[in-house]
Amino acid sequence: MLVNLRSLDLNLLVTLDVLLAEHNVTRAALRLNFSQPSVSVHLAKLREILGDPLLLPGPRGMQPTARALALREPLREALESLERALAPERPFDPAGASDTWRVAASDYGESTIALPALRGLREAAPNTRLAVVELAPARVAKQAAQGEIDLAFHTTSDAPENLRRRALFTERYVLAGRADHPRLKRRPGAKQFCALEHVIVSPDGGGFHGVTDEVLAQAGLTRRVVLSVPHFLFVIAVLERSDLVAMLPWRLVREKAALRVVEPPIEVPGYEMCMLWHERSHRDSAHRWLREQIARAV
């Protein structure tokens, strides 16, 4: 018959553990910082609960019953396991860690966050692995909740409310075209800007209308958006091989020698990037280290 743990004071097991080691109530009491009678009462309760005398007074002190002998090792292991489980979390050791982290990122997040952070991660924690998975904004909250991803890189403004977040940087838009683009030798005016052929990134797919178009509309202007693509990096390839231009995040194009980057003639509001994670990971020392590492890298 199983002992109901609800009705069992686990402190009794601590006493039993010491009793099984000492075979002596007085010495057990000394070790436990209890009075001898208290331990005697504990033993009485244990006898009642387990239905076994456990320790019998005999010729050479208290002799353990067969049940007591059978109990000793498993009990010791169980208590040690509990002690380990309840021990204060030890600080994360990057050098010895072999975690695999799953991070959701768009190709923009890959370029501007994952890439800068990668070197530091490899150096500090060489036995860890990083899995970057496609960022699907609609699914981030669920993925985080189900533990499919540890971290997501996302714009702050439309990030799921129920996830923890930390701002990483603010981004602004610049106008980019190929390095020797004839119309970008000087910063174009609004009219020339609208006359150019534009590429737009539409992560949801298929859209031809973005923030830039809204700002233009307020000024009574429209531009010619001739290509819509879902990924940022493809835009760069397109710009390099055509006369198309695009309003792109500054961080994505700042080191692209093949591109010419100019300030746009109109003021397009930027956005803030943040990383998102689930409450469950919030206090985890490994996860905190990862977050700190990434925040420092960007």
Q: Does 7 sit near DNA (CB under 7 A)?
A: no
Q: Does 67 sit near DNA (CB under 7 A)?
A: no
Among 275, 223, 219, 273, which Cα is nearest to 247's? 223
- Please identify, among the stretches 51-59, 85-93, 128-136, 251-259, the one whose residues bind DNA according to the rule CB under 7 A: 51-59
CA distance 161 to 196: 38
Q: Does 62 sit near DNA (CB under 7 A)?
A: yes
Q: Does 4 sit near DNA (CB under 7 A)?
A: no
If the CB atoms of residues 16 and 235 are measured against DNA, the closer one turns out to be 16
- Please identify, among the stretches 58-66, 188-196, 203-211, 265-273, the one whose residues bind DNA according to the rule CB under 7 A: 58-66
**18, 43, 114, 235: which one binds DNA (CB under 7 A):** 43
Q: Does 60 sit near DNA (CB under 7 A)?
A: yes
Residues 13-42 that bind DNA (CB under 7 A): 24-26, 33-38, 40-42
CA distance 222 to 152: 34
Phi, psi of 79 (to 5 degrees): -70, -40
Task: Give the tokens for residue 170.
Answer: 């603010």
Q: Does 68 sit near DNA (CB under 7 A)?
A: no
Phi, psi of 97 (to 5 degrees): -75, 145
Q: Does 51 sit near DNA (CB under 7 A)?
A: no
Residues contacting residue 109 through CB under 8 Å, at least 6 positions apart? 135, 153, 154, 273
Q: Is 19 left (phi over 0), alpha (psi -120 to 50) or beta?
A: alpha
Q: Does 146 sit near DNA (CB under 7 A)?
A: no
CB of 50 to DNA, least distance (A): 14
CA distance 235 to 258: 13
If the CB atoms of residues 57 and 182 are measured against DNA, the closer one turns out to be 57
Work out the end-to-end distance of the chain between its first and last CA atoms, rounded to an integer number of angstroms: 60
If the CB atoms of residues 49 and 211 are measured against DNA, the closer one turns out to be 49
Q: Does 6 sit near DNA (CB under 7 A)?
A: no
Task: Give the tokens for residue 25.
Answer: 């109530």
The residues binding DNA (CB under 7 A) are 9, 11, 24-26, 33-38, 40-44, 57-62
